[in-house]
A and B are shown apart, each in its own frame.
Chain A
Amino acid sequence: GQNIDQPTEMTATEGAIVQINCTYQTSGFNGLFWYQQHAGEAPTFLSYNVLDGLEEKGRFSSFLSRSKGYSYLLLKELQMKDSASYLCAVSLLGGSYIPTFGRGTSLIVHP
């Protein structure tokens, strides 16, 4: 099985930087997804990391360390609209690669 761990809730100030961590314990790791989900809405894809390192997309960046079983999502220049749940999902090698989701981190951005 897989064990995926994320903080339940985080708060941050508008304009600041926040880092949301995700740790996982699994065998046969393939890749790690990050999704954003606003309350009552569908999740939307943010990033997919397969190799070690940092990938930047505008205000959002995602980092992966395969040897440490660790990823983080970095959000810069926070805006109120970034208040949402951030879901980490791990896919495994072989078979169907179907990703398993963590419980999500609820981020609250305040003025």
Chain B
Amino acid sequence: DGGITQSPKYLFRKEGQNVTLSCEQNLNHDAMYWYRQDPGQGLRLIYYSQIVNDFQKGDIAEGYSVSREKKESFPLTVTSAQKNPTAFYLCASSTSGNQPQHFGDGTRLSIL
């Protein structure tokens, strides 16, 4: 079955450490996205990519980095520059920006 997979489900980060969240899709979607969700907040866009080897900053890109070397994969790195990384991170994909998004199950990141 086609879908979008995020790993790990839970992740802990130490102060000053970079961590990478994985996102893989086999839906053959061109567009992929990373969102951050905090309690009581909607989804805020971190980065998006509409084609391989290209990506754009979203509304809250500071302290994050991404790559899009393959169509299927869009990993997100939370760097030590992100001072408040504790959140629920959601990856999504779609055929294009004005089409419905398919979401992964999310990664919950916490600080030790």
Interface residues of A (CB under 8 A from B): 4, 8, 30-31, 33, 40-45, 48, 87, 89, 91, 96-104
User: In the docked arrangement, what's the CA distance between A42 and B100, Å?
Assistant: 14
Indicate whether B97 reaches chain A with its CB closer than 8 angstroms: yes
User: In the docked arrangement, what's the CA distance between A104 and B88, Å?
Assistant: 15
A102 touches B42 (CB 8 A): yes
Question: Given B56, B90, B101, which contacts A96 in the complex, CB threshold below 8 Å?
Answer: B56
A45 touches B101 (CB 8 A): yes
Nearest-neighbor residue (CB-CB) of B4 within chain A: A42
Q: Mark the stretch among B13-21, B68-76, B77-85, B102-110 that contacts chain A.
A: B102-110
A97 touches B98 (CB 8 A): yes
B41 touches A103 (CB 8 A): yes
- Inside 8 A of A97's CB, which chain B residues have their CB? 96-98
> With A48-B100, A91-B98 as given contacts, are A98 and B42 in contact (CB-CB < 8 Å)?
no
> With A96-B56, A103-B42 as given contacts, are A43 and B90 in contact (CB-CB < 8 Å)?
yes
Indicate whether B64 reaches chain A with its CB closer than 8 angstroms: no
Nearest-neighbor residue (CB-CB) of B106 within chain A: A42
> With A43-B90, A87-B43, A101-B42 as given contacts, are A96 and B97 in contact (CB-CB < 8 Å)?
yes
- Inside 8 A of B33's CB, which chain A residues have their CB? 98
User: In the docked arrangement, what's the CA distance between A103 and B39, Å?
Assistant: 10
Contact with A along B1-40 (1 / 0, CB 8 A): 0000000000000000000000000000000010100001
> With A43-B90, A98-B45 as given contacts, are A91 and B97 in contact (CB-CB < 8 Å)?
yes
Nearest-neighbor residue (CB-CB) of A87 within chain B: B42
Question: Given B41, B88, B98, B104, which contacts A30 in the complex, CB threshold below 8 Å?
Answer: B98
- Inside 8 A of B44's CB, which chain A residues have their CB? 101
Closest CB in chain B relative to A23 CB, distance in Å: 14
- Inside 8 A of B42's CB, which chain A residues have their CB? 4, 87, 101-104
Question: Given A42, A96, A99, which contacts B103 in the complex, CB threshold below 8 Å?
Answer: A42
> With A41-B105, A41-B106 as given contacts, are A98 and B100 in contact (CB-CB < 8 Å)?
no
Closest CB in chain A relative to B98 CB, distance in Å: 4
Nearest-neighbor residue (CB-CB) of A31 within chain B: B98
